[in-house]
Structure 1
Amino acid sequence: MRCQQGASDNLINEMEFVDNDKYVNYFRMTPRLFNQLLALIEPGLTKQTVVRDPIPAKTRLQVVLRYLASGDSLTSISYAFRIGHNTVAKIVAEACNEIWRSFKDSVFLTVNTNNWKSVADSFEEKWNFPNCIGAIDGKHLVLQAPVNNGSTFYNYKGTHS
């Protein structure tokens, strides 16, 4: 039984080949970039057949990217891909570990005080945001605004972020 095949696969394939903008909105990357990423990490995502056919590496990467892109619950992702909740949780954990293992040395900064200070200095210089070492695109983290800053950190959701 291949429970991961079906209506969700058809919709994703249609987005990939017909509506590129929807694909990018859904996975936060182009189909070309997705395929490049898949080629790099596919060996670590591919599972052997034991009792039944394993979930393909492509589907596993789609699951984790949708989870990371949307912030949806694991249950919501499991319904969208027609895969069990526990299986989705395992896929997300394994795929994130594989992405980290594959890219940690070539993409991410070496963990040391000088690198973190450099990043924090850059955030302060560009954005007047001291002691920041990273930002999450499109996410608002509720915070207590600094004293005497008025509406500087006030967002459209009605909170300071």
Structure 2
Amino acid sequence: IPLMVDANMRWSVSEAVRAARRLAQADIFWLEEPTIPEDVAGHARIAREGGVPIASGENLHSTYEFRDLIRYGGISFPEPDAATLGGITPWLRVARLAEVHNLPVTSHGVHDLHVHLLGGIPNASYLEVHGFGLERFIESPLQISEGLAQAPDRPGHGVAFD
């Protein structure tokens, strides 16, 4: 089972580099949001010196922010969130940009929507699934079987509120 660690923007760049080096010994799959997302140079340093893949993007609000993180080597797993990025089109733009740079895309939140988006791109990685208990409000919530999400086969984004 891959171990993914989320620092939730908690560390300074120096702290994140030290933590990443220690976490590398545990062979983690990625370190998520080690520092504030706006610090492109800091992310690049963490990626370069930390020795672990970096996932980030849930707090980015434009394709330009993703472009900079990707361009300067600060991210290994772009993690766009359609809810904070401005919808499906910018999410797909980030996915395409990542594909051009041979990077896999993961997702953040809104799993009932993101399962469709990840299913439609060639560089999909993991679908993040939250357990907030919202399933009771959704007519046909996301189904997971043996660790795999099943995208609904009906038209639209798949979410119908009950």
TM-score (norm 2): 0.27
Choose between structure 1 and 2: higher helix proportion. 1
Structure (1 or 2) with the larger CA radius of gyration: 1
Choose between structure 1 and 2: higher strand proportion. 2
